[in-house]
Amino acid sequence: MTEVAIVGVGLHPFGRFPDRSAIEMGAMAARSALADAGATWQQVQFAFGGSYEVDNPDAVVNLLGLTGIPFTDVYNGCATAASALSLAAQTIRLGEHDLGIAIGMDKHLPGAFTSDPVQYSLPSWYGDLGLFLTPKFFAMKIQRYMHDHGITPASLARVAAKNYRNGALNPNAFRRKPLSEEAILGSRMVNDPLTQYMFCSPDEGAAAVVLCRADQAHRYTDTPVFLRAAEVRTRRLGAFEVHSPSTPLEPADAPTVDASRAAYERAGIGPEDVDVIQLQDTDAGAEVIHLAENGFCADGDQEKLLAEGATEIGGALPVNTDGGLIANGEPIGASGLRQVHEIVLQLRGTAGDRQVPNRPRVGYTQLYGAPGTAGVSILTT
């Protein structure tokens, strides 16, 4: 089967940009990715675009050029970018096209996401009661996890402090000020045990990735990064998931576990081979849980690993080296492509102040979002 290479990545900084539309940010990220690949928009044969706020991400062609290519819009909640990446990779694997682009863009208002529960096949009363909210789900998942596996609030603060510290090294990040663990623990309680500075914020930004047939990668770059797997999974009955008025007593693995196993299998790579990791840190607790759900440690080992600094840039398991969602915020459509952007820089050895030492060769990204959708990708030099 045809293999897939990433030959260009581009990012519009994440943050707040009052005078710029999401579509404009998407176009800027796309131009940046094309320039990185040494390719032109006219060479691009297909595109996938992801956004929550923008009805038609494909309208970005108004700014890039009306070339007539197939341009498919996708939306899968916080896993939107995983769908764009996965479908773009499949298009190349299947031999349909040789060169394409995945673009994600968004522009959210501050505050928790909300919508109509009826659109999620949920009853209206679920929204009336204030239960149709994601932050309290994440709080309840980590609350139970801490109870079962001996994770302390200090570990949650360590995760957030590490991500702010990494964000301070990333010129594209939204939050670039380091915060102490004391300040994080002492900030306003939002949903016990999660405080204000343990959560990411919805914000604005865009990212793009140019993909091609691996055997043509040399036309564009001397440092291709190969996309070994890009898998998306939805929840199975029994998984404890966001937006659930009830859940069965018999447990099932989270969709992240399913996507992760499928990605390792496709790539022929195991968690022990991974050198640099991007995880969905909607909140500090999510990063703790996702370390285990993606196979990087056993449940409960995070307490010791975090105390030892294992997930720091210089540690054995560097996680969210660009600051993750906590420092970058979450423009939903772009978030997962930001993760890929960071992994590509790390594998090229061009991540600057936040470069993981000893030339990492294998990178990993994971997304998770409502209503229980996960995406995992594995990339190698």
Partner 1 sequence: MTVVPIADGLFTWPADEPSLLGSSCDACSHLSFPVRPGCPRCGSTAATVRPLGRHGTLWTWTSQEFRPPSPPYTGPGDDRNFEPYYVGYVELPGELRVEAHLTDFGDDRPVIGQPVELVVVPFAENADGDTVVTYAFAPSKEVVAHD
Binding residues for partner 1 (CB under 8 A): 111-112, 114, 116-117, 123-125, 127-133, 136, 139-141, 143-144, 147, 188-194, 237, 244-249
Nearer to partner 1 among residue 121 and residue 358 (C-beta) = 121
Q: Which DSSP string do the residues of 46-106 spell out, in sequence order? A: EEEEE-SS-S-GGGGHHHH------EEEE-BTBTHHHHHHHHHHHHHHTTS-SEEEEEEEE
Nearer to partner 1 among residue 55 and residue 250 (C-beta) = 250
| H or E element at residue 145 | helix 135-149
**Residue 350 DSSP symbol:** -
Nearer to partner 1 among residue 45 and residue 244 (C-beta) = 244
Q: How far is the CB of 372 from partner 1 (least distance, A)?
A: 11
SS3 call for 221 = coil
Nearer to partner 1 among residue 56 and residue 114 (C-beta) = 114
Q: Give ∠ CA 305-254-320 in degrees, rounded to 5.
A: 40
Nearer to partner 1 among residue 5 and residue 242 (C-beta) = 242
C-alpha distances (whole Å) from 372 to each of 27, 125, 239 are: 30, 21, 9
Q: How far is the CB of 108 from partner 1 (least distance, A)?
A: 13
Q: How far is the CB of 278 from partner 1 (least distance, A)?
A: 26
> Hey, what amino acid is at 296?
F
Burial status of residue 79 (CB atoms within 10 A of its CB: 0-12, 13-18, 19 or more) = buried
SS3 call for 251 = coil
Q: How far is the CB of 131 from partner 1 (least distance, A)?
A: 6
Q: How far is the CB of 64 from partner 1 (least distance, A)?
A: 35
Give the residue among 326, 110, 99 at the shortest CA–CA distance from 209: 99
Q: How far is the CB of 167 from partner 1 (least distance, A)?
A: 23
Are 318 and 162 in contact, with CB atoms under 8 Å apart?
A: no
Are 72 and 48 in contact, with CB atoms under 8 Å apart?
A: yes
Nearer to partner 1 among residue 289 and residue 337 (C-beta) = 289
Q: How far is the CB of 70 from partner 1 (least distance, A)?
A: 33
Nearer to partner 1 among residue 35 and residue 189 (C-beta) = 189
> Hey, what amino acid is at 196?
Q
